[in-house]
Amino acid sequence: MYPLFKRSKKAALLTTTLTVLLSVFGSTGAISVSEAKGANEQTSPVFQEASVHDPSVIKVDNTFYVFGSHLAAAKSTDLMSWNLIDSGVKDGNKLIPNVTEELKEALAWAQSDTLWAADVIQLEDGRFYMYYNACKGDSPRSALGVAVADNIEGPYKDEGILLKSGMWDEISEDGTIYDATKHPNVVDPDVFYDKNGKLWMVYGSYSGGIFILEMDPKTGKILPDQGYGEKLIGGNHSRIEGPYILYHPETDYYYMYLSYGGLDSVGGYNMRVVRSKNPDGPYLDAEGNDMTEVKADPSLPLFDDRSIEPFGVKLMGNFQFTREIGDPGSGSGLGYVSPGHNSAYYDEKTGKSFLIFHSRFPNQGEGHEIRVHEMYMNQDGWPVVAPYRYTDQEFKKNINANDVQGTYQIINHGKEITNAIKTPSKAVFDKKGKITGDVKGTWSLGKNGEAVVNVDGTQYKGVFSREWDSSKEQTVMTFTTLSNQGVALWGSRTEERKDKDVVAAVKKDLSIGDTTSVYQDLVLPVKASEDSTISWTSSNKEVVSNTGVVKRPIAGKGQATVQLVAKIQKGKVTGTKTFNVTVLPELTGPVIANYNFDDVQGTKVSDQSVNGLNGVLQGGATQLTSGKKGAALQFNGKDGYVQVPGLVTDAQDFTFAAWVKWNGGGDWQRIFDFGNGLGKHMFLTPSQHTGVLQFTIHNGVDQSLLSQAKLPQNEWTHVAVTLEGNTGTMYVNGQPVATNKEMTYNPKDLLANEAYLGKSRFAADPYFNGSLDEVSIYNQALSKEDIQSLFSK
């Protein structure tokens, strides 16, 4: 054993040995029928979110810290409420205040202005060692170094680069010519102690695979004569990255967590685990495969996922426990998209284990947040992950067959690397141990919540546990299990109600959105909670059909009013709900809105087009008498913006054009942001996190235009974006600076109900700091000549 301060990063060892059963099942919670009825009366856990990509955990005293990419870090005392410490590779970051100078060698080598996944550990001298890394991104040209601080929150001082990669046609760290199919990309470090106090670093992403090196515990640097170290897994550019190794004292295994696939919302990122009796391997999966041999097939196209996806124990990928209309709670259900690049933590006092990772979310684009889930060891010594995020609630009652029996939503995570979101099947667990429904089989309950689930000929082992479902605001019975093939099977029990209660709940919950100003086809649902049905009748089928198809009055003819009646049925019980719908006439184009800011009266910003889509001044947005052409509008960068009608997106082909004078400031300010919820939006930002002007339209997935530079500061610049068919083009001062021929989304499909000039629809983004003039929006794509004409006027 080694001193306690060496364990501050990962509490991986125990000074006394607990029984395996205590760790495996001792912390699961039971749910009784009486408790379920009163679940809504419980105090809801309090969560506070933060965004740290690739979070690596370290506990110092009573506080958990996570460090990640882009020099981001956050802290929490309960693994539920996170406070961001800082983020962004910019001077003034609390972690490394002079980062552009301090790490200039690494940034220069990597030809990058940002940093990737960091890892922090406290060594025997009591100081904190941050293992940073910078990567070019489109190649494995990377540098990995270490910086040291006396305080966990910095400031960190550089101790130098430890490894480099991507030196094409040159001698690499092992004395041979660098080969990206065999040599590593020196990023994603994790530094850890083994059970005997020896210090190691595991690292790597794609390229030649995941490697491990022995480290000097006194200096925190690599011991000599190891080159890149020993390879553990991967090669031939296989999409495997983010290694994290944690020793578990009760199974006496080292568990290496990995992420497969691509990290963005369409990359199919997923978390896997393999194990070994030794820190430097060999690591095996649940089927006994030696992971050293797992790599992409060089004869297949680059990033060959099919060759690697059968290997490794898949803990979690894309999934969603869907919520139907009338189900308890709100929203569309809980789920994750591309969860990954995790770290893990073992609490030696409680025997609890935690998985800490970042995740994106269904229909929310590239936004990501920290998530923490509890883990349990199953009967075969493999970790299984709780289906819902961790809370500090404790439930002590035993689990019995009555607690388990009921209807479940079941998620089978499979082994695929895919961007498809796994949605649930339904099955009934009866109290005699039989499973019927979409899947069939048997279940059994052992001591302390032990679960064995046999489904369609495959056995899964794990635990039944009580978890908090934040979408329903109540506790639910769940199970998390794993097959011998390394497939995770989860279940979440649903509430059972009488038919009349289902109909009443559907009626209360049923909505078809804002019906006061309809200009698009309506989505009229026909299915609802617990297999109830909905049928529709329209009072004027020429304007709105029974299936929701809308035919708008022609421009100038005025609006139309229609009544829609929904009939809800469950068994023999029925109910109705009526909606009054106002359908707007077609807009007159091609200019559907024009704001020259010459006519601002009080808070009213007049639309100079015939459509009258007037805006409203909010906060610190004021008229500037001398703009680019006549008056302009000035935004204070604190709370000023203009709210405009969502109808500004009523276009299939589209143009936004404006004169912009940007005063600089934080990334992700908005020139405009139009959308509906988190899943449908379009925006234009003068500078995003990599420092370029960006336009994005999102309807499930981002489709973007990125220039080569940020918008110029403190000068009037003409900016335009056009969408024509599947082609998007961005112009700066009359010249095209970006084109994308795969932009398939149309603005009108966003059904925008929020539309702002100068403000993001995401609360974390800063307000626009600058001025706008001559803002025009068209329902057609202007030609290059038209854009140049607007610029030259």
Catalytic residues: 54, 241
- What sign results for the dihedral spanned by CA atoms 233, 237, 240, 242? positive
Q: How far is CA 513 from CA 173, 523, 524, 570, in A?
A: 60, 9, 10, 23
Nearest-angstrom CA–CA distance, 70 and 426: 41
Which residue, among 282, 276, 280, has the nearest Cα to 294 in the 3D structure?
282
For tokens 């995770």, the residue is 488
Nearest-angstrom CA–CA distance, 784 and 737: 12
Written as one letter, the residue type at 151 is N
Instruction: Say if CB 67 and CB 82 are below 8 A apart.
Output: no
Nearest-angstrom CA–CA distance, 644 and 448: 58
In the chain, how many H helices and how many E strands? 7, 49
Cα-to-chain-centroid distance, residue 365? 7
Instruction: Say if CB 752 and CB 621 are below 8 A apart.
Output: no
DSSP state of 216: -
Written as one letter, the residue type at 380 is D
Nearest-angstrom CA–CA distance, 318 and 412: 10
Nearest-angstrom CA–CA distance, 342 and 356: 5
Nearest-angstrom CA–CA distance, 703 and 725: 13
Dig out the tokens for 166 from the structure: 């991507």
Question: Does residue 155 have a cis bond before it (omega within 30 degrees)?
Answer: yes
Q: Strand 425-429 vs strand 434-437: parallel, antiparallel, or unpaired? A: antiparallel
The residues near 376 (Cβ < 8 Å, ≥ 6 apart) are: 23, 24, 25, 27, 28, 353, 383, 384, 386, 462, 463, 465, 480
- What sign results for the dihedral spanned by CA atoms 447, 449, 453, 458? negative
Nearest-angstrom CA–CA distance, 162 and 455: 49
Alpha helices, H only, 519-584 = none
The residues near 113 (Cβ < 8 Å, ≥ 6 apart) are: 89, 107, 690, 691
Phi and psi at residue 326, in whole multiples of 5°?
95, -10
Instruction: Say if CB 216 and CB 222 are below 8 A apart.
Output: yes
Q: How many CB atoms lie within 10 A of CB 184?
A: 28
Instruction: Say if CB 307 and CB 403 are below 8 A apart.
Output: no
Residue 571, classed as helix, strand or coil, is coil
End-to-end Cα spacing for the chain? 76
Q: Strand 615-618 vs strand 591-595: parallel, antiparallel, or unpaired? A: unpaired
Nearest-angstrom CA–CA distance, 463 and 456: 19
Written as one letter, the residue type at 617 is L
Residue 501, classed as helix, strand or coil, is helix
The residues near 224 (Cβ < 8 Å, ≥ 6 apart) are: none
Residue 435, classed as helix, strand or coil, is strand
Task: Encode 608-676 in three state secondary structure.
Answer: CCCCCCCEEEECCEEEECCCCCCCEEEEECCCCEEECCHHHHCCCCEEEEEEEEECCCCCCCCCEEEEE
Q: How far is CA 517 from CA 187, 582, 591, in A?
A: 52, 5, 20
